[in-house]
Amino acid sequence: MDIFEAMETCRSIRRLGSDPVPPEQLERLVHLATRAASAGNSQLWRFLIVTDPADRLWFRDMLAETAGATLFADPPDAEDHSQAARNLGSMRRFIFGFDKIPAFIITAVENTFPSAEAPDERFAWSSIYLATQNLLLAARAMGLGATMTTAHLWNEPAVRRHFGVPDDVHIGATIPVGRPEGRYGPVTRRPTSEVIFRGRWGHP
């Protein structure tokens, strides 16, 4: 797929089928993620691929107990057809159906640079999010559905304990991957004229 087409149509796909994604395709996603640049060419990214049904169910239960209890304390209003209500319904389906998603990838980075005494976290984040975007574009090009989430933040200590993630590793994102049930783009974004300044901040 043309890279520009992939960028123009790389929507966040949260509605994913339960059919397994072949291991070689998941490994291909990671391979393409590691084609990204990294701070000082450190290549300290790490990727945890999760496919085991028990782990997916654990993650769903974690989300339901934390995010679910916060976001969905009140039952949905069947008469509310606002965009906010639709977004909440989409999030509800995503959380409570998380165990049906065939795989998810946790992107992470070791925070061991530029020095052992006082590593600057900004280098870590700049490395892992470049790789994360590569992974999302690769999924789009391969016909897979994916979305970047920070779902682990709802209970990061529990996620670290369950998956054995060390304290000196930053978790960047949790990316569900599967066969898309939703549509790809084109994406809808603000016109560039609204986000570009010339020479000085605030100058159109």
Walk across the sheet containing 169-178 and list its strands: 45-50, 103-110, 169-178, 145-146
Residue type, 196: I
CA dihedral of 11, 134, 21, 47, whole degrees rounded to 10: -130
CA 169 to chain centre: 17
CA dihedral of 67, 72, 73, 77, whole degrees rounded to 10: 170
DSSP assignment letter at 49: E
Residue 174 in any domain: the answer is: yes
> Quick check: bond before 53 cis, omega within 30?
no
pLDDT value, residue 119: 63
Residue 93 in any domain: the answer is: no
Q: What are phi and psi of 6, to 5 degrees?
A: -60, -40
CATH code of the domain in which 146 resides: 3.40.109.10
pLDDT < 70 regions, the chain: 70-78, 80-81, 85, 113-119
Residue 78 in any domain: the answer is: no
pLDDT value, residue 91: 81
pLDDT value, residue 180: 94
CA distance 98 to 102: 9
Q: What are phi and psi of 94, to 5 degrees?
A: -65, -45
Residue 156 in any domain: the answer is: yes
Residue 188 in any domain: the answer is: no
pLDDT value, residue 142: 95
Question: What is the total count of domains within the chain?
Answer: 1
Q: What is the chain's Cα-based Rg?
A: 18
Decide if 50 contacts 102 (C-beta within 8 A): no
Residue 140 in any domain: the answer is: yes
Residue in 156, 138, 155 with CA at minimum distance from that of residue 146:
138
pLDDT value, residue 157: 97
Residue 199 in any domain: the answer is: no
Range of the domain at 56: 3-73+99-182
Residue 8 in any domain: the answer is: yes
